[in-house]
Structure 1
């Protein structure tokens, strides 16, 4: 399984950024190549979060255990 971890920054406070695991059914079959190129599903996901700006993302293969990627 591939997880996409997005770095999101608030539009109202650009220095206020956080990481969030992007998990929806749209990402169920994302390939490594698609993830590295900026999965098209990520753009769709961002339209649902208009108060935030996508600053970066990374792809994690397997289970995220909270110790970093």
Structure 2
């Protein structure tokens, strides 16, 4: 399974950022190639979270390693 770890910042406080796994059921069929090519599902996820700004993301195989931003 490919997981997408996003670095999200608050729109109202741009220096307040954190890492979050944004993998949902919609991401179940994401390949590593599509993840690296801007993850189309990520754009849809961001539309549902307008108070957040996407600063960066990375694609990982398997479970998240628990590191913070």
Task: State the TM-score, normalizing by the size of structure 1.
Answer: 0.91
RMSD of aligned Cα (Å): 1.3
Secondary structure of 1:43's aligned partner = helix
Aligned residues: 68
User: What is the aligned partner in structure 2 of residue 20 from structure 1?
Assistant: 20
- Consecutive unaligned residues of structure 2, counting only runs of 5 or more, are none
**Distance in 1 (alpha carbons) for counterparts of 2:6 and 2:67:** 16
Distance 1:67 1:18, change over 3 A: closer
- Consecutive unaligned residues of structure 1, counting only runs of 5 or more, are none
Task: State the TM-score, normalizing by the size of structure 2.
Answer: 0.91
